[in-house]
Amino acid sequence: MFYRPVDGHGLSHDPFSAIVAPRPIGWISTRDGTDNLAPYSFFNAVAYRPPQVMFASTSAKADRPGTKDTVANIRAAGCFCVNIVPAALGEAMNATSAAFPAGTDEFEAVGIEKAECVTIPCPRVAAAPAALECRLTRLLRLPGEANWVAFGAVTGVHVRDDALLGGRLDVTTYRPLARLGYHDYLAASDLFEMRRPPDP
């Protein structure tokens, strides 16, 4: 099949997010008076040296006109933390996706232990296998009703000791969750290595 998004897809469900998959989940924690925690599946690393990440927010809340608590907090505080979601915390991650009223601490509402970041005034998920402390570098409005993308420079990295094996991060120890399309998720565990060929 072929379709133009402006004309609609004609299917029972929009396939776009299922096509661009799997997508890593950025479980974003912020602070602006109250601590906040919410998952975003439009998330990825965008540069290696210096390390930089991005995530996009694509909807709004009734009590946050034009955006969500996460974007509002980042705009005010200038920082955020990306927490990596292990399979064991999948249900907790999903619970924080609910549209809690502005000013709600999702850590407390869902029962997630928090820890303080080191380089930024922000909480992080204590049990996350890895977390990236980030300073906001750019917040851009994208076409669409409530589409925002935040870019951050990584200023601090937390890695749980039990996720390291032989000097490498071993994702099989925590099976990071990734988002597929619809209501589907994937827990990474089936790994293989493929090295780049030499330059011709």
The pTM is what? 0.95
Other beta carbons within 10 angstroms of residue 123's beta carbon come to 23
> What tokens appear for 161 in the block?
């000791």
Q: Residue 101: is the preceding peptide bond cis (ω within 30°)? A: no
Ranges in the chain, pLDDT < 70: none
CA distance 136 to 74: 7
Question: Residue 190: beta bridge partners?
Answer: none
CA distance 56 to 98: 17
Specify the residue for token string 């030499």. Answer: 198
Question: Residue 124: beta bridge partners?
Answer: 115
Specify the residue for token string 């469900």. Answer: 13
Instruction: Please tell me the predicted confidence (pLDDT) of residue 190.
Output: 87
Give the single-character DSSP code of 98.
S
Instruction: Please tell me the predicted confidence (pLDDT) of residue 196.
Output: 94
Question: Per-domain residue ranges for the chain?
Answer: 14-187
Which ranges in the chain belong to alpha helices (H)? 16-19, 69-77, 90-95, 106-110
Pairing of strands 52-57, 26-32: unpaired
Give tens-digit pLDDT for 34-68: 999 999 999 999 999 999 999 999 999 999 889 99
Instruction: Please tell me the predicted confidence (pLDDT) of residue 105.
Output: 97
Which CATH number is correct for 14-187, 1.10.40.60, 2.30.110.10, 3.30.1490.20, 3.10.450.50?
A: 2.30.110.10
Instruction: Please tell me the predicted confidence (pLDDT) of residue 46.
Output: 98
Helix, strand, or coil (residue 69): helix
Are the C-beta atoms of 36 and 106 separated by less than 8 Å?
A: yes
CA distance 112 to 180: 24
Instruction: Please tell me the predicted confidence (pLDDT) of residue 104.
Output: 96
Which ranges in 25-169 belong to alpha helices (H)? 69-77, 90-95, 106-110
Give the single-character DSSP code of 75.
H
Instruction: Please tell me the predicted confidence (pLDDT) of residue 61.
Output: 92
